[in-house]
């Protein structure tokens, strides 16, 4: 989902559908890097839907992928 913020930026929301076993979802790619803690998606309570929103310049082109984990990620 893309929502314009102003003439230069838009908020881009990435959405992932998990299942009842999904405990974590991380977005990986050239725009987000590979920092698992920083790139964790948030669940929508009562659903299997996960989301993450970031602001990007309107001319930005990105590639990304999702990594979902059944186990609990280590938090520091």
User: How does pLDDT run across 23-55, given as a tens digit for each residue?
Assistant: 899 998 887 677 778 889 999 999 999 999 999
User: How does pLDDT run across 53-62, given as a tens digit for each residue?
Assistant: 999 999 999 8
Instruction: Return the structure tokens found at 25.
Output: 């979802």
Cα separation, 38 vs 6, whole angstroms: 25
Asked whether the beta carbons of 16 and 64 are under 8 A apart, the reply is no
pTM given for the model: 0.79
Instruction: Return the structure tokens found at 41.
Output: 């998606």
pLDDT classification of 72: cutoffs 50, 70, 90: low
Instruction: Return the structure tokens found at 53.
Output: 């929103």
Asked whether the beta carbons of 29 and 65 are under 8 A apart, the reply is yes
């Amino acid at each position: 989902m893309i929502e314009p913020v102003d003439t230069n930026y838009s908020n881009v929301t990435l959405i992932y559908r998990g299942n009842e076993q999904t405990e974590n979802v991380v977005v990986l790619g050239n725009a987000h890097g590979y920092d698992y803690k920083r790139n964790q998606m948030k669940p929508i309570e009562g659903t299997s839907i996960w989301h993450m929103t970031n602001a990007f310049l309107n001319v930005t082109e990105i590639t990304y992928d999702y990594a979902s984990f059944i186990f609990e990620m280590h938090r520091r």
